[in-house]
């Protein structure tokens, strides 16, 4: 931990203004009580008091809920396609939680490793993540069951840990080091006592994440339940097939593509889609997941079975949004526990 730094909470606004000169800077904000990332307004740091996590996950800054892919115009020669203009502006997300930073690494598997998605990557490669460790995980949080913790710094560039009136600051990547350099004298040296306090804060936060799910070898255990239709019908019974859990999931990435055409000009958009919707897999003659239990099963298996097979990582970070936001309290940790109990019986 040698060389760690610190910043006073009182100086955060000044720090953000400093960084704001180079970046489009986003902070947690409330829009009618719905927490989401919003552009830094130059002064309001009240989120430091209320912020636990956003309702809308940071994936929205990389895969927006709607995005123009290109626009087109038709004339005698055919279609002329133009890409949307990109401002190429660098983006800084301040206060991303460890679970959501981990989610970005999970999304990279799809949008960078499986294929290169230019829309996603142009934003992702232009973004630095400043992580803020949790001090008050929700009762729905279970990040510690997925190899992470409320203060995990693995997938951020710069990590902040709350130590009272100050944040301990650790540069994790070169981009993080550059941010520290740009902060000048706002970020100073941390003392040994600060580091001890940070260690205590990490341990305290970890102990507050009390929801636990046994994920050891979970993908293999799940295989046994795939064909158990009765089990899945029971599990799925109360699901209302809305898109809350998937659209607000930081690792769900499905999108729909649609064209809008008025006379000879139009545009192609992509927008968030959800495998919970019955029409998601509807084809002209059939729908392989018309029944609700098949859709619920798919959602669980995509995260805990197919993603591990394809990318060697579970596509769930334990952020708990799907549990907190579900209108009928369908709880994925309960389903996974029941599945594992079933595998052992």
Partner 1 sequence: MNDRETEQGLRGQAKALLEEGKVNYIIGYEPGSLKFTTTPLITKDKDSVDRLVISPFIVNNLSEYLTELKGRIGIVAKGCDSRSIVSLIQDNQVKREDVVILGVPCSGIIDLSKVEGLVGKDRDEIDDIVWEDSKVTITVAGDRKEFHIGEVLFDNCLGCEFSIPQEYDILLGESSSLVVDKATSREKIETLEAMSQEQRWNFWEKEFSRCIRCYACRNVCPACFCERCFVEESEPQWMAPVPRWQDNLMFQVIRNIHVAGRCTDCGECERACPMNIPLRSLTKEMCDIVDDLYHFKAGMDKETAPLMTHYETTDPEDFIK
Residues of this chain that bind partner 1 (CB under 8 A):
31-34, 52, 55-56, 65-66, 136, 138-140, 234, 237-238, 240-244, 247-248, 256, 258, 260, 269, 271-272, 274, 277, 279, 292, 323-325, 327-331, 333-334
Give the orientation angle of helix 292-301 with respect to helix 229-236, to 10 degrees: 90
Q: Which is nearer to partner 1, 44 or 331 (CB)?
A: 331
- Least Å distance, CB 19 to partner 1, is 27
Of the two residues 82 and 259, which places its CB atom closer to partner 1 in the complex?
Answer: 259
Q: In terms of CB distance, is 166 or 253 closer to partner 1?
A: 253
Do 317 and 285 contact (CB within 8 A), yes or no? no
CA dist., res. 63 & res. 88, Å (int): 16
Question: Do 24 and 91 contact (CB within 8 A), yes or no?
Answer: yes
How far is 304 from 315, CA to CA, in rounded Å? 6
Comparison of 153 and 246: residue with beta carbon closer to partner 1: 246
**Residues 245, 299: contact at Cβ < 8 Å?**
yes
Smaller CB distance to partner 1: residue 80 or 238? 238
- Residue 225 burial class via C-beta count within 10 angstroms: exposed 0-12, middle 13-18, buried 19 and up: buried
Nearer to partner 1, 6 or 321 (CB): 321
Q: How far is the C-alpha of 136 from the C-alpha of 101, rounded, in Å?
A: 17
Q: In angstroms, what is the minimal distance from the CB of 198 to partner 1?
A: 23
Beta bridge partners of 256: 271
Cβ 231 to partner 1 shortest distance, Å: 13
Query: Least distance in Å: CB of 32 to partner 1?
Result: 5
Question: Least Å distance between CB 31 and partner 1?
Answer: 6
Q: Are strands 255-262 and 34-39 parallel, antiparallel or unpaired?
A: unpaired
In the complex, minimum distance from the CB of residue 227 to partner 1, in angstroms, rounded to a whole number: 20
């Amino acid at each position: 931990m040698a060389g760690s730094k610190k910043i006073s909470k009182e100086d955060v606004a000044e720090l953000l203004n400093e960084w704001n000169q180079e970046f489009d800077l986003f902070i947690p904000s409330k829009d009618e009580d719905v927490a989401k990332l919003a552009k830094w307004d130059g002064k309001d740091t009240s989120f430091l008091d209320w912020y636990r996590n956003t309702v809308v996950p940071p994936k929205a800054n990389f895969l927006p809920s709607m995005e123009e892919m290109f626009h087109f115009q038709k004339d005698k020669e055919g279609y002329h396609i133009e890409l949307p203009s990109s401002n190429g502006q660098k983006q800084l997300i301040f206060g991303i939680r460890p679970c959501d930073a981990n989610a970005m690494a999970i999304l990279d598997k799809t949008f960078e490793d499986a294929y290169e998605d230019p829309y996603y990557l142009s934003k992702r490669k232009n973004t630095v993540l400043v992580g803020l460790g949790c001090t008050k995980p929700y009762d729905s949080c279970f990040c510690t069951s997925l190899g992470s913790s409320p203060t995990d710094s693995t997938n951020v560039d710069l990590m902040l840990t709350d130590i009272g009136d100050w944040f301990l600051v650790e540069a994790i990547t070169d981009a993080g080091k550059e941010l520290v350099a740009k902060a000048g004298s706002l970020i100073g040296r941390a003392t040994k006592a600060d580091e001890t306090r940070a260690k205590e804060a990490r341990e305290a936060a970890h102990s507050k994440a009390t929801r636990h799910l046994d994920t050891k070898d979970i993908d293999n255990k799940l295989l046994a339940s795939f064909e158990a239709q009765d089990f899945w019908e029971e599990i799925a019974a109360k699901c209302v097939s809305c898109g809350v859990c998937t659209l607000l999931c930081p690792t769900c990435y499905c999108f729909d593509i649609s064209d809008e055409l008025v006379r000879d000009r139009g545009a192609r958009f992509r927008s968030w889609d959800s495998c919970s919707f019955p029409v998601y897999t509807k084809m002209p003659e059939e729908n392989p997941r018309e029944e609700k239990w098949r859709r619920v099963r798919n959602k669980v298996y995509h995260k805990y079975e197919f993603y591990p097979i394809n990318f060697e990582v579970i596509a769930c970070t334990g952020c708990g949004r799907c549990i907190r936001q579900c209108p009928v309290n369908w709880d994925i940790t309960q389903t996974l526990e029941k599945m594992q109990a079933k595998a052992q019986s």
